[in-house]
Chains A and B, each alone.
Chain A
């Protein structure tokens, strides 16, 4: 097992390296930040000065090696927009998004497993139809639309929740509800399908024949077998939460990393883009490794593949 984790981490490092190369060069293709930060009448001299200060005057590969060198010392460069180290900017924003994800995912998983398996218990039944309908609505509604409608309904009409911002736990209710929507919708579908398959497999039938109460069958035997794809999709959705976070943070004025990333692209703040992608990727890789380890524990075959 230790060997497996070691190998898996090494592989993740490889992916991380790939990602870093990708983001470094892609970001630089979007154009020079000089125009954004320098006055309209900037002289050539001022441009040179600016480019020199942030190292944009060197060939791109030199910039890349300098970036790698800095990386080894946890120095990811200076943010142009904030005039402070990019790491600092990113680490200030990261906890908010992490918190959003950390609250969202458990809710999503619990709701999806309960709803999905209840739906699978009697496919085509009333509960299944309703659950399918609602989950598909959840999976197909644009989240910014839900977010704004949510503000109008719950904050302006009903006055039960604050419109936006952070502060009290109440401020987190709407953003998290919006973030939950799509992953829950998708995951309910997945749980349902897996459960239907699992329910008809031989050992569940055996259990049924033995006369164990039906409900127990669903939750104990079938669920365990249905769990693999659920974990997989859940981890994919967890990674996808950053997408949702971009929009939720924009609408609700949350100081998270999703909005920071997009703003940094708009403002060509390369150092921040790199640092932000690196930090989120690290988080995603950790999730992936945990998921893979879970697999390996559940299904020994995977360890060897």
Chain B
């Protein structure tokens, strides 16, 4: 086969004057393939991977940076910080830093960026995902000192600020921007709708100058095409390719993407309102069989909605075994107790939620049918899926198992627990006084205590309530071209610091 390909290659080069010569990459420029294109490039939307992977820490920077490996925070635009009272924090800013538009980076710009992000006129994901319910204000003490005040104690404020990108005061308030102005090592150049985004090294950068000068971001929704682009050298790095396309261990590297998949069960509606039925649901899915087949073998079986890198993850929980006999027995027991186990359950998926997710729900539905569940499969597109996922739930809806994938790359369980499990959480199917109290208490605590409370929350939900069917902590495959030396980490779920890319052999 190889010889065949080579001879074809020779033939083709002889026939055509290779049109590819024009596309060869020069040494200090990189092209990066994303799975989807951005709709805006606003600094306040960096937690969205499609935006963060382009601009976060490249164009716009944060005061604090997360060190995922050590579960800790490191300084970036802030040099140091201290908690001056339970509700106030003081941050000392780096001096002599300039925005790309020439305006100086100072306390006023930090205050401006926080205000802009929290402005309800703009639906900034940074606000809604991380600052929701946090009553926070910032005040400039002097040119290089900012004081943050929260209404209630906020022990993880630095973690929170790792999500707040600082933009120039020339970024308009109340409307999204398509031209981010930050302090990062790269200056925004252009965004051609539907085509590409270009950024260029910023010579006035305060820190070490990165090697790469120009970066172009393109997007391809078909994984096979994205993989082909790197293989042919048209691009240097493809962010996520499907497991079946990751065939070359030399270039295809796996990294946890902080996504956790699960089936959320409607625990109020028959037949899922019975704990035995929910246990049977868990026992009927052969999770291990998926690993190495349609899900990467590097993915991990999940027992909760947050991954191991998140503070509050409970590592003592044991994944559900695959035990169809036990599942059948439990269903029979529930049936004998008068539970209508034959009632149809709607399984709700979404195409493209993760690579091969269609195949996954199809297979899971078959496994559940095999033990006696009656499953109706619905793959919904985003809007319809959100209607099913979010409160208020439709009146009179049927029992459902909703496939969700939750990403928490903040490093703290708070951003998961409330939203997924608190009675007032927008995507919570449960209302349990004990869960509510645990979540509220954990949010106020810090350090060991905080971790313990969250761990207990996840244990209680998993072992006692059996509120859902956790599936996998997912991984992505990144294809890194031969020109680059780079090993992806969980941080790459939402960012890719070009400064960390090493070009092996400048051509």
Contacts and interface: CB of A to CB of B under 8 A. Distances in A.
Contact between A and B in the complex (any CB pair below 8 Å)? yes
Given A160-B18, A266-B381, A148 B225 contact: yes
B125 interface: yes
A152 B224 CA distance: 8
Interface in B395-429: 419, 426-427
B194 A256 contact: yes
Contacts of A89: 193
B234 interface: yes
Given A168-B22, A251-B222, A252-B225, A36 B232 contact: no
Contacts of B225: 148, 151, 163-164, 251-253
A55 interface: no
A287 to B, nearest CB: 24
Interface in B129-170: 129, 132-133
B382 interface: yes
Interface in A191-231: none
B9 A93 contact: no
B19 A161 contact: yes
Interface string B231-264: 1101000000000000000000000000000000
B294 to A, nearest CB: 19
Contact of A40 (B178, B231, B419): B419
B5 interface: yes
B426 A41 contact: yes
B220 A253 contact: yes
A155 B228 CA distance: 8
Contacts of A260: 194
A27 to B, nearest CB: 12
A259 interface: yes
Contacts of A300: none
Contacts of B220: 164, 251, 253
A267 B222 CA distance: 19
A39 B39 CA distance: 16
B193 A255 contact: yes
A170 B16 CA distance: 11
B171 to A, nearest CB: 13
Contact of B19 (A50, A166, A168, A253): A168
A255 B20 contact: no
Interface stretch (B301-309, B384-392, B464-472, B477-485): B384-392
Given A163-B232, A164-B225, A41 B128 contact: yes
B175 A160 contact: no
Given A36-B383, A93-B193, A260-B194, A163 B128 contact: no
Given A37-B123, A40-B426, A165-B234, A148 B224 contact: yes
B454 interface: no
Contact of B12 (A158, A162, A266): A158
Interface string A37-49: 1111110001001
Interface residues of B, number: 52
Nearest to B120: A46
A37 to B, nearest CB: 6
Contact of A157 (B8, B16, B219, B427): B8
A268 interface: yes
B390 A268 contact: no
B19 A160 contact: yes
Contact of A39 (B23, B125, B178): B125
Contacts of B39: 81-82, 267
A158 B222 contact: no
Interface string A249-282: 0111111100110000011100000000000000
A259 B22 contact: no
B382 A39 contact: no
B23 A160 contact: no
A222 to B, nearest CB: 37
A260 B127 CA distance: 28
B383 A253 contact: no
A82 B18 contact: no
A156 B16 contact: no
A163 B229 contact: yes
Interface in A20-41: 30-31, 33, 35-41
A158 B386 contact: no
B386 A36 contact: yes
A46 B426 CA distance: 15
Given A92-B193, A151-B228, A255-B193, A168 B23 contact: yes
Contact of A159 (B9, B129, B224): B9
Nearest to B216: A165
9 contacts: A35-B386, A35-B390, A39-B125, A40-B427, A41-B128, A157-B9, A164-B225, A165-B218, A250-B222
Interface of B: 5, 8-9, 12-13, 15-16, 18-20, 22-23, 39-40, 120-121, 123, 125, 127-129, 132-133, 175-176, 178, 192-195, 218-222, 224-225, 228-229, 231-232, 234, 381-384, 386-387, 390, 419, 426-427
Q: Which 6 A-B pairs have the closest CB atoms?
A: A255-B194, A39-B128, A170-B19, A40-B426, A255-B195, A81-B39
